[in-house]
Amino acid sequence: MSDGLKIVGMKIKNFMKIVTMELDLNGAPFVVFKGKNGVGKSAVFRALDVLFDGAKAMPLQPIRAGASKSEIEVDLGDIVITQKITPRGATLEVRGKDGLKKASPRAVINALFSHVGFNVLEFRDEPPKKQVEILQKIVGLDLSTINAEIAAVFAERTDVNREAKALDVQIQAIPHTAGAPAKEVSIGDLATELERRQFTNQENHRQRTGVGVMRQTGETMRNDVSVLHIALKAAKNALAAKEQELVDFTARLDGLVVEVENLSDENVEDIRNQLATVEGTNAAVRSNQQRATLVEEFNDTTNHANGLTAKLESFNGSKAQQISEAKFPIDGLGFGEDCVLYQELPLKQASKGDSLAVSVAIGMALHPTLHVLRLENASLLDDENMALLAEMARLNDFQILLERVGDEDEVTIIIEEE
């Protein structure tokens, strides 16, 4: 026994072009309303829309011309819904099997009815984003938060990658000078070092000159000694003193000679060369330092972008897992980038038969209690699609009402039983 509500019977009086119509459908799964245009087929569907969808579905002139009121009654087995329409307004009534009125009749109907799914092709014609919203609601998924996080991270990664690219352009524009020192060379320090070295060399020169003079003095003293030896007898005391002076002087001289011989002149040309090239060297140092800073910043930025990519992959993995665990109304459904997928292609690209099957499955999923769907303009469906609808209705214990254009002057109702 089915738990779904289907139309058992329907009565329509003075609604649009219909004078009176009573239908005993007995929950039949497939009902076709057939006839020429203008004979009242659409009025049956408008009556159902008014009953289930309320005032927003009300036509501009619901009461048949010449009548004072309209009445629509649908028997769903467990409940009977009645809509009465007068020029002053409309009243809605829902009664149970026991004949007692239900409180808040519109709330009772709203709990059974979904505007989108009731019209079979409504879902197919919705914009892709709206289709995604409806399907997520059906399968119990709310991907809005994770989609917002994915969008935010993707936007941030785009900005970071743009920044990294700009840094890389700057890096490529700065040449790297091999062999340049890590720090800039101080011209002041070089000048001080040159002055020190020049002073040292001048002092060395002074000492060398002094030694030369002393050598000459020593030679003179030796000559004096020779003269004094000639007059030794006359100047013995003077000779002895002079000899002692010579010994002392010679010892001092020998010590100075050793010191002078160990003196080492410093390389002045090296400093002069550095001073001559210091601006170029320092320019290379500054260029290398700037380049190194940009490379470090580029590496940090690239690492940041890689981290965001990993975050995106994590979000997308979580999203994919949620989708894979969801129970869809029909096999092959899924979610793409802001669209519903069927067999891995956007639903908007599906064949007419596939899109019809998906729309019917969506309508059924949106009506777990009210097992009634309708389809206008079914004349556009071929025999294969008509058979598909009938089969889906039977397999899912649903009732599908269709409107087709025919040659009949009155509405003909074709009822396919179980």
What DSSP state is assigned to residue 213?
A: H
Q: What six digits make up the tokens of 185?
A: 């060379």
User: Contact at 8 Å (CB) between 394 and 4?
Assistant: no
Taking CA atoms, 88 is separated from 52, 57, 85, 349, in Å, by: 20, 17, 8, 47
Phi and psi based region of residue 361 (left: phi greater than 0; alpha: psi -120 to 50; beta: remaining): alpha
User: How confident is the prediction along the chain (418 residues), in pLDDT tens digits per residue?
Assistant: 357 899 999 999 999 989 999 999 999 999 988 888 876 788 899 999 999 988 888 999 999 999 999 999 999 999 999 999 999 999 999 999 899 999 999 999 999 888 778 888 888 889 999 999 889 988 888 888 888 899 999 999 999 999 999 999 999 999 988 888 888 888 898 899 899 999 999 999 999 998 888 889 888 888 887 877 777 676 677 777 888 888 888 888 888 888 888 888 888 888 888 888 888 889 899 999 999 999 999 999 999 999 999 999 999 999 889 988 889 999 999 988 889 999 999 999 999 889 999 999 999 999 999 999 999 888 888 889 999 999 999 999 999 999 888 776 555 677 665 5
Q: How far apart are CA 15 and CA 130, in angstroms?
A: 33
Is the overall model pTM greater than 0.75, yes or no? Answer: no
Return the sign of the alpha-carbon dihedral for residues 359, 371, 11, 407. Answer: positive
Provide CB contacts within 8 A for 370, sequence distance 6+.
4, 5, 52, 76, 112, 113
Contacts 24+ apart (CB under 8 A), 325-332: 326/139, 326/140, 326/141, 327/139, 328/135, 328/138, 328/139, 329/138, 329/139, 329/358, 329/361, 329/362, 329/364, 329/365, 330/357, 330/358, 330/361
Within 10 angstroms of residue 108's Cβ, the number of other Cβ atoms is 16
Residue 318 phi/psi, 5° resolution? -65, -40
Q: How far apart are CA 209 and CA 129, in angstroms?
A: 100
Q: What letter represents residue 347's amino acid? A: L
Q: How far apart are CA 47 and CA 73, in angstroms?
A: 9
Query: Which one, of 79, 86, 107, lies nearest residue 8 by Cα?
Result: 79
- Given the structure tokens 């003269």, which residue do they identify? 227
Q: How far apart are the first and last CA of the chain?
A: 13
> What is the DSSP code string of 16-37?
TTEEEEEEE-TT-SEEEEEE-T
Q: How far apart are CA 222 and CA 243, in angstroms?
A: 9
Q: How far apart are CA 217 and CA 215, in angstroms?
A: 5
Provide CB contacts within 8 A for 47, sequence distance 6+.
12, 15, 16, 18, 72
Q: What is the dihedral of CA 372, 378, 383, 387, to 10 degrees?
A: -10
